[in-house]
Each structure stands twice: as C-alpha cells, then as structure tokens.
Amino acid sequence: MSRPQARLVALLLVVFACATSLRAQWAPLVTDKDAAARISWWRDAKFGLFMHWGVYSIPARGEWVQWSEQIPVDEYAKLAGQFNPDKFDPDAWAALAKEAGMKYTVLTARHHDGFALFDDPGSDFTSMRSAAHRDFVADYVKAVRKAGLHVGLYYSPLDWRYPGFFFPGIYRPSAEQLRAQYHRQLNQLASNYGKLDIVWFDGGGGDWLGFGGVTFEGGWHARPKDQRYTGAFSWQDDEAVGNLRKLQPSVIINDRTDAAADFRSREGDGALGNFENRYPWELCTTITDGPWGYDPSAKIKPLDHLIRLLVSAVGRDGNFILNVGPRPDGQIDPAQAERLREIGAWLGKYGESIYSTRGGPYLPGDFGVSTYRDKTIYLHILAPAGKTLALPALPAKILSCSALTGGTADCSQSDKGVTVTLEGNPEAIDTIVALTLASPAAEIHTIPASATAQEKRPQ
C-alpha cells in the first residue's frame, strides 16, 4: 500500500473500530423448510468454544494488532515466517472443550489480517506456504470431529491487505481480487475438510464494507455507523453462501454477511440483551477482559461471572460461545484452561437445567432467569432476595419442586402466583429450583417475571 493509501486507511481506524460494536442487523434470516431442523442440534448444545489463533498470537497484543498499530503489510507478513507452533495439539483443544461442557468449537480459519490457517494455493499468506508448512484447519477439523463435537470455522471476507476493502469504488480491481479470494477460500473450506457444522462469518456484508465511504468537504466525513455501504461494489454474498450451502447442506451460518443467516450474533458481555425466542441467537464473548487473540496481560474473568453469563444467555433463549486465544505455540493458557474446566464441573452437576432446554416461560427478571424442558421448569435464581421468591401465576399444575443446588425448596401455587420458599440453601452462583409440572412447559406462553418487570413478551 502506498503512503497516501495508508494515511487514508489510518483515518478510518476510529470509525471502523467503533462500527464493529454497533453493527446493525441487516442480514435476513433463513426461511426455508429445513431451517429449524438444521439448527436444532445447536439450540440443544447451548455452549461452544471460540478460538482466535493466527500470526497475531506472536506479538500477543490481540488479533487487531496489525490495524491498531498500523503495522505495514510487508512488515506484518514477516510474522508468517515465525509462526511454527510446536505445541499445536487439536486433540487437547477438543478434550478441553469437552471437559468445559462445550458441544461445538469455532476456530478462526482466517481473520482480518488475511493469514489463512489452511491450504489456499491462490495465496502465499497461509500456514502451508510459511514456516509451519501445515494445514491447521485440516488437523483441527479431524480432532474435533473425532472427539464427537460439532465443528465450526470462523471466516472473515475482509482483509486489511486490500485497499479495495476500504475504498471499493476507488480501488475496484483490488476489491474484485478481495472478493475472488473470499469466494475461492470459502469454496475451499466447504470442499476440502469434510462436513462443517458452522461457518461463523465476521467482517462481511454491506455494513462492514467500504469504511472509506467518506467525502472531502473541508474534512473527512465517515459514513454514519447505522448506515450501510450503498456503493456499486458487492461481495456477492448470495453466490458465495449459496455455494457453501450447496456443498454443505446442513451448515449453519451467522448474520455477518448479507446472505440469509441461521442465527444472529450478539457480541460482548454487555450485549446480552433481551429475551428472544423468535429466532436463534448466540452471545459471543472472551474469557479474559482483553482482546480475542492471545494477550498475556489480559485478566481472566471470574468463574461466577462466566457461569451467570452462560445461564443468562440460555435463560434468554440464546447460546453462549466463549473465546480463548491460544498462544503462538498452540497451547491454551493453562489458567484459562483451568477456568474452562471449572465451568465444565458446574455443568457436570447442573447441566440438566441448561442443555436441551429453552428459555422461559418466566421472562428474565430481578430474580434471574428460567429455562424449561419437557415438564420441568428450572428457576435460576441469580440474585436471591431473601428466602422467598414470589412469581406470577403459572397456568400449569406444579406437582413438586426441589432445589438442585442444595438445601430445600417448597412451592405453593394459587391463581395469584407461585411462591418458592428456600431453606438452608448454600451460597450458590445460581440457585436452581426445578418445578415439575403436570403438563409440558412448552404449552405455557412467556410470563413477565413481575408486574413491573422490564422484559415484556416478544411480540
């Protein structure tokens, strides 16, 4: 990239960084007859492992290091000559995911820096054509599959090496090369690694494209964050994703392209959001307070916080995918691995209130959230307020109730409401009370947790 190009691109740094967290939901959702069946395993699975790993793990300042420090493309490319992980052990990754109680994994096949962890004969910037001489995606897919987990790949069409990404109108040939790379690589991923369960897109679609959509009228004016790119260039997402779906008929994808999505992504602890059971969604976040890629200075989030996030997502009828950034040698930081095992130990005891449940029927309220499966409702009391919990009436007969997390729970029921009385409950991250009903909980419409509850029924 020339100097003026680099300067233009640098100007967009702040705009672009802000835009990532404020993305609108542009992608439509799938409506085909197989849509619900395709995603049903995922809705039951609830919990997955996300892994951001690539040459950016070497400088260890996060996956955005090239961009945020404006490292020239040629300089950054030298990292590929050093990326030769000697502790890469995808069986260990998969075993850890299982110990954590996770049912699927998603690995960054290629992030925004353009470095592919797979074999793309059309690019020199791959793990096959640099120090490692290895197709990490191939080994990863095999290991995860062998462990009995569902396999996911993250892929970013955007590539900072192409000025055509920022200015598709000005650098049209570059934008076309970028698009050709996207279509080619997606086709390779879909063709060469057997069955893929998830393709997790990022950086695609019109709300990301062309952040150089600015005009010079006494200053640079960035495109407002809630407006998408409307220029002439197109990723041709329908074609790329259509080909992916043809090759991988059961694959599910998120909503970061313009093609119809199977599920929506919510990003970061703060994006937990409202209860939503009209379409599948997933909260993604990091196990540390740092970036997604490896950063040894980042602090691991407390166990209770992570468990509450998981429970809060599931109680809002969503999934939860938790990210670790493996080290450049391929190992997952032992302290992070330990935290994952702790979550797994909790799920080992209380997983029946999480897996294969749906959120509700009580909507999230001050007390916490609820989940249900068959004829059982699980109250997840995240913020106990004394020994009694009063909830609005339940249009189903409660046959019995019990405290899963220790102590006892007594329930009484009238036309006016349900009262749960707790005795001798140990301090718990989540006090779980199971209500056994005489009829399936799925027959109950969602119920606001109290008359003043903020969460109203989705329309």
Residue numbers at the binding site for ligand GLC (CB under 6 A): 20, 52, 63-64, 202, 267, 284, 292
The half-sphere exposure of 245 on its side-chain side, counting CA atoms within 13 A, is 18
156: nearest Cα among 257, 236, 72, 62: 257
Query: Looking at beta carbons only, is 52 or 327 nearer to ligand GLC?
Result: 52
- Shortest spacing between CB 63 and ligand GLC, in angstroms: 5
Position 337, amino acid: A
Query: Looking at beta carbons only, is 186 or 428 nearer to ligand GLC?
Result: 186
As a whole number of angstroms, the distance between CA 144 and CA 152 comes to 9
- Shortest spacing between CB 161 and ligand GLC, in angstroms: 16
Beta bridge partners of 411: 420
Compute φ and ψ for 353, nearest 5 degrees. -90, 0
Compute φ and ψ for 180, nearest 5 degrees. -65, -40
Query: Looking at beta carbons only, is 127 or 285 nearer to ligand GLC?
Result: 285
As a whole number of angstroms, the distance between CA 320 and CA 403 comes to 24
- Shortest spacing between CB 441 and ligand GLC, in angstroms: 32
- Shortest spacing between CB 50 and ligand GLC, in angstroms: 7
Instruction: Name every residue whose Cβ is closer than 8 Å to that of residue 260 and which is 6 or more positions away in sequence.
Output: 27, 28, 29, 30, 31, 241
- Shortest spacing between CB 41 and ligand GLC, in angstroms: 22
Query: Looking at beta carbons only, is 10 or 18 nearer to ligand GLC?
Result: 18
C-alpha to C-alpha distances, 105 to 98, 263, 276, 449, nearest whole angstrom: 10, 16, 23, 33
Residue facing ligand GLC at closest CB distance: 20
Query: Looking at beta carbons only, is 20 or 331 nearer to ligand GLC?
Result: 20
Instruction: Name every residue whose Cβ is closer than 8 Å to that of residue 457 and which is 6 or more positions away in sequence.
Output: 363, 445, 446, 448
Query: Looking at beta carbons only, is 64 or 165 nearer to ligand GLC?
Result: 64
- Shortest spacing between CB 284 and ligand GLC, in angstroms: 5
- Shortest spacing between CB 304 and ligand GLC, in angstroms: 23
List the alpha helices (DSSP H) in 127-228. 136-146, 163-166, 172-192
SS3 for 254? coil
261: nearest Cα among 175, 317, 202: 202
Tokens of 81: 């000559």
- Shortest spacing between CB 266 and ligand GLC, in angstroms: 9
Query: Looking at beta carbons only, is 159 or 202 nearer to ligand GLC?
Result: 202
Beta bridge partners of 447: 362
Position 21, amino acid: S
- Shortest spacing between CB 276 and ligand GLC, in angstroms: 18
Residues in the chain: 459
Instruction: Name every residue whose Cβ is closer than 8 Å to that of residue 396 and which is 6 or more positions away in sequence.
Output: 437, 438, 439, 441, 443, 444
